[in-house]
Structure formats: structure tokens, C-alpha cells
Amino acid sequence: MSNKTNLAKQALSAHSWMGVFLGALLFWVCLSGTLVVFHQEMERWEQPAVLEMADTNAETVQKAFDNFTAKHKEDTEHFFVVFPTSGIPRLVVENDHVAYFADQQGNLLEKEQSPLTKMLVNWHLYLHLPMSWGMILVSALGAIICALVISGIIAHKRILKDAFRLRTGSTGQQYQIDLHNRFGVWAAPFHLIIGITGTYFGLAGVMIVIVAQLFYNGDRQAVMDTVFTPEPELHQTIEPVNVGKAFEQALTMEPNGKPIFMTVHEPGTEGQFIEIYTEIPGRMLYSENFRFDAAGNFISTGGYKKGAWGKQLVYSLYRLHFGQFAGMAGKVLYFVLGIMLTLLCTSGMKIWFNKRAADDALPRIWTALVWSTFIGVTAVSTYSLLAHTAPVVILWGVIAVAILLGWKVSVISLKHWQIATAVSLAVLLLVYAITHQHGLFNLASLQLNLPIVAFIAYCLYRIKRPQ
């Protein structure tokens, strides 16, 4: 056997091991990541009838803030005002405990409730594990994605010869292999972007601990301050916060920018200050931050826009990972590529099952796991519409029961799972129509309901097709 063939064989063995052993986790992280690209649209979908607006002004912001602080006097370390230019065209005022929408006059409307979106985002960030461990595990999967890209390319002996091949029919195995390799090779830049940026979220904390111990006498905050601009130290007389004045100035300081949100740090103390986060068009940076004292007088910027390249890079990782740039175009791009990445996980597993060709329950369990994940998400969504809470136990309960069924009941086929998925989605739409009659034909509801209808149609098409 030639050295090249040997290398490819060994690479394939490493590739299969990583892909198969972490297949389920990779599938969940990739699928949830693909879904949460539209987390802002999901929030709107959860409350479609809320008043929407294109932008706001200083007077409205001040009035909404005053109304909120008058109503909610409980202790909090922050107040937040989320602006309609944040990606969700709504004005929201909140503290650490509760959030309200506001209208164009600054009057408070209904409470913000997005339990489903929060559940899905937590699924992607932590896999619903305890936060630190979950985040480290998910971040480790980022490095595994990079390792799969590298081993997959080395293992692919005919990378150039097969670059445009897609062979259907026969046992279907060649189709799965071609699909897997074409997705893997052509979308490799995207996979590396996701892998590298994904690793950052959990592992940066570990890196900071080591760097702090070695170079900063154990002072983690000092390490953080080298990357993220430290908070200003103020000693002011305690007075009402002038958020309107700060907002007005931030608009003029970055005329092309889109204010995302405002934070009032340590309210009611001598050190309270206002920070406004503004998205800079054309830049991957999360924001440039403008800081003001409680009276609304400008103090400084966060210095991200023109800071050291390292600072800019770190502050750009969020948008780069979640596709939160360039509006809907960036989201659609990431959604389609995210579907490809998710299909890469499922096709890889199918190839492994077919090669193994063992007559046991594993392929059935895998099919159950994949399709029950959709059913589980749909079940939680339906429940959240009725109960305004999204318990993770429903998602994992559905998956656990499905795995048990896949293992023990051999007559349940792919077709049955597809029927169950289509039915559960239809029930979701029905419950949505009943619970949200007023907002049913809003953009906020249609932009998710129409893709759900399309997915039902896809399931029906798959059900009708011979398998």
C-alpha cells in the first residue's frame, strides 16, 4: 500500500472516530446553531402582535425609561433599553429581572416573554448542561469541527477528481458519500469559521485563567481589561439618569451607526454610568460603545473601532459566529450553510452505518434521535405558546422516548418519524393560529410560519417518495 493511501486510510479512521463518537452532540449543536441564526425573528414570532417601529428618539427613550424605573423599583445592577434598530424593530426597557415593550410615546406595553428563544439559545450555547461545563463542551466541539475538516480533507484521496460528482441510485451509499464530501470540501471555509469562533466562547475563559496566573498575579479582571475596555470609575452625586441626552449624543457621534442597546450600569450608586452599544455598518465588530455619566455627559468610547487589531478581532467573533451581520442576507447565508453542516453530520453517520452494515438497532436509534429532535423542538414550541414557559425536559423527554422506541420497536421506520414530525408541526401551527389570532398575518409571524409550512411540505414529499 502506498504512503499516500496509508495516510488517507489513517486520516479516515481518525475522521470516522471523531464524527461517530461525537455525532449526536455535533448534530444537536449544528442544528440548534442553524436555528438560532434567526433568534431575533423567533423572539418576534413568540409575540407577533407587539407594536413595531423603525427607529426611536431621545424623548421616547427617556420617557420609556422613566416609566419603567417608576414602576420597577426593585434592586438591580443594570437597566437596559433595547432600540428598534437592534435587529428587532421594537423598543424594550428592562432590568435584570423583567422586560417591557414600549410604544412610540414611551408608554409601557406588555411584558416581553421569549421562553422558547431562550431555551433554543441555551441549547446551542450549553446543550442545557450546567453553564460552564456546557459551554466548555460545546466549545470543544468547535475544535472537533476543525479536526474533522482537516482529517476529512486528508482522507479524501480523490478530492479533485470527485470535486463535482454526485452519484445517486444503487444502494444509496455512493450518494451519501458524495453528498458528505461535496458539503465538506466546498463549505470547508465556513466550517473552519464556525469551529474557530465557536471554540472561543468556552475556552477563552480557561485561557484567561492561565494568563492571569502566569502574567497578572492571578488578576483575571486585569486580563479582561486588556481586551475589553475597563469600566470608568466615577464618583458622582446620585441623581436621575439622563438616558435621552446620552442617546441623542450617541446618534451624532456615529451618524451611520445603528444603536443596538443601552445599559445603565450600577444604577442608584455614585459610580452609575450609561453605555450605548452602536453597530457600525460594514464592520464585523459587535459594536462601538459610547459611555456617559449619569447626567448624560460624554466620558469616552470603548475604543473597539480603532483599537488594537487583537481587540477588534475578539470583539468581532460574535457576529462572525452567529451570522449577525449584513442583516437578513447574512442570516440566510449562515442558515443555508448551517443546514449543510447539519447534513454533514447526518450523512457522515449514514455512511458509517452503511459501511458497518450490522443488523442491529444503532441505525434505527440514530434515525429516531435525528427526527425526534425536530419533534421535541416542536413540542416545546407548542407548549410554550400555551404555558409561556419552555421546559427543556420536554425536548429531552421526547428524544429519550424516541431513542427507546428506535431501540426496542423495530417496525418504526424513517417514514413514521417523518409523519410524526409533519403532524407535530401542523399542530404547532394550529395552536399558534389559536393563541395568536391578532398577529397571525404579521411579518413577525409569517417569517417563521411560512418556513414551517415549507418544512411540512418537505416531510410530506419525503413520506410519499419511496425510501
Partner 1 sequence: MMYLLATLLSLATVSGFYLSWKQQASRALWLSIGLLVVSCIGWSYAAGWEYGLVYALCIPSMLVWLFIWQQRKSLGVNKAIPHSPAAKVSAKLAASHMGRLLVVLIIQALISLLLTLVFCYLLPLEDVNRMALGIVLLPLVWALLSYQLLQSRFYWRSLSIQMVVGLLSAGGLAVQGGLI
Among 42, 116, 262, 314, binds partner 1 (CB under 8 A): 314
- Residue 41 class from Cβ within 10 Å (0-12 exposed, 13-18 middle, 19+ buried)? buried
Closer residue to partner 1 (CB): 222 or 427: 222
* Chain residues 216-235 in contact with partner 1, contact rule CB under 8 A: 223, 226-227
Contact status: 187 vs partner 1 (CB under 8 A): yes
Contact status: 68 vs partner 1 (CB under 8 A): no
Contact status: 186 vs partner 1 (CB under 8 A): yes
Task: Give the interface segment with partner 1, choosing from 65-73, 104-112, 252-260, 350-358 (CB under 8 A).
Answer: 350-358
Q: Are 290 and 253 in contact (CB under 8 A)?
A: yes
Contact status: 206 vs partner 1 (CB under 8 A): yes
Among 71, 111, 158, 165, binds partner 1 (CB under 8 A): 165
* Chain residues 377-396 in contact with partner 1, contact rule CB under 8 A: none
Among 5, 111, 214, 297, binds partner 1 (CB under 8 A): 214
Among 131, 210, 430, 434, binds partner 1 (CB under 8 A): 210
Could you give the CA distance from residue 217 to residue 255 in angstroms, rounded to a whole number?
Answer: 42
Q: Are 153 and 181 in contact (CB under 8 A)?
A: no
The residue written with cell numbers 466548555 in the block is: 136
Closer residue to partner 1 (CB): 255 or 466: 466
Closer residue to partner 1 (CB): 60 or 181: 181
Among 84, 89, 195, 296, binds partner 1 (CB under 8 A): 195
DSSP 3-state assignment of 389?
coil
- Residue 228 class from Cβ within 10 Å (0-12 exposed, 13-18 middle, 19+ buried)? middle
The residue written with cell numbers 452505518 in the block is: 353
Could you give the CA distance from residue 460 to residue 456 in angstroms, rounded to a whole number?
Answer: 6
Closer residue to partner 1 (CB): 224 or 299: 224
* Chain residues 238-267 in contact with partner 1, contact rule CB under 8 A: none
Site string for partner 1, 424-443 (x = CB under 8 A): --------------------
Could you give the CA distance from residue 43 to residue 453 in angstroms, rounded to a whole number?
Answer: 19
Report CA Rg, the chain.
25
Contact status: 370 vs partner 1 (CB under 8 A): no
Closer residue to partner 1 (CB): 7 or 238: 7
Contact status: 93 vs partner 1 (CB under 8 A): no
Among 29, 31, 61, 144, binds partner 1 (CB under 8 A): 144
Partners of 258 in the beta sheet?
279
- Residue 442 class from Cβ within 10 Å (0-12 exposed, 13-18 middle, 19+ buried)? middle
CA distance to 90, 95, 300, per residue, from 277 (Å): 16, 17, 13
Closer residue to partner 1 (CB): 333 or 400: 333
